[in-house]
Amino acid sequence: MSDTDTVEDERPTVKRIALPPEVTKLYEAVETLSARYPGRPFTLDGHMMGSIGEVVAAEAFKLNLYPPSQAVHDAWDDEGDVQIKITAGNHVAMYACCDRLLVLRVVTPQEAEVVYHGCGRSAWEFAGAIQKNGQRRISLTKLRAIASGTARP
């Protein structure tokens, strides 16, 4: 499945995926709590966001999910194993090199975009140094460059 569709002027458009209505409700709850309790962070992150990314990707790309906390890969299909990442920010973090990497970015409470769906090794090689927590971060900008073939070390 392609991450982008080509339009007549040859500029790629980003593939968007609808998020489940329950995710939209979570974002509405965050907004309500943030307004009610200013200065307190109510962010959707951690395991919840990871699980949301996994189920959204599984439905959109017809992937089979491994049980939670599987080492390295989150899902598989006929083409092999896939690590799934989702973020509302500008980067993702990886603990290990994977076969295939699928990265989604939440763009609205109703939609996510496919930022990268490609070779995990390429992403791993362009990621930053290993941090104290054992993760390597990579920006979404760098992932887009890898996908388009314009990435530079």
**pLDDT score at 47:** 87
Note whether residue 91 is domain-resident: yes
**pLDDT score at 10:** 44
* Domain enclosing residue 88, as ranges: 13-19+45-147
* Beta strands at 100-108 and 80-87: parallel, antiparallel or unpaired: parallel
3: pLDDT strictly greater than 80: no
Better-predicted residue by pLDDT, 84 or 45: 84
Note whether residue 25 is domain-resident: no
Q: What mean pLDDT comes out for the span 82-107? A: 96
β-pair partners for 55: none
Note whether residue 97 is domain-resident: yes
Better-predicted residue by pLDDT, 45 or 131: 131
pTM of the predicted protein model: 0.87
Q: What mean pLDDT comes out for the span 45-59? A: 93
7-51 pLDDT, tens digit each: 343 445 679 999 999 999 999 999 999 999 999 999 888 889 999
Number of domains the chain contains? 1
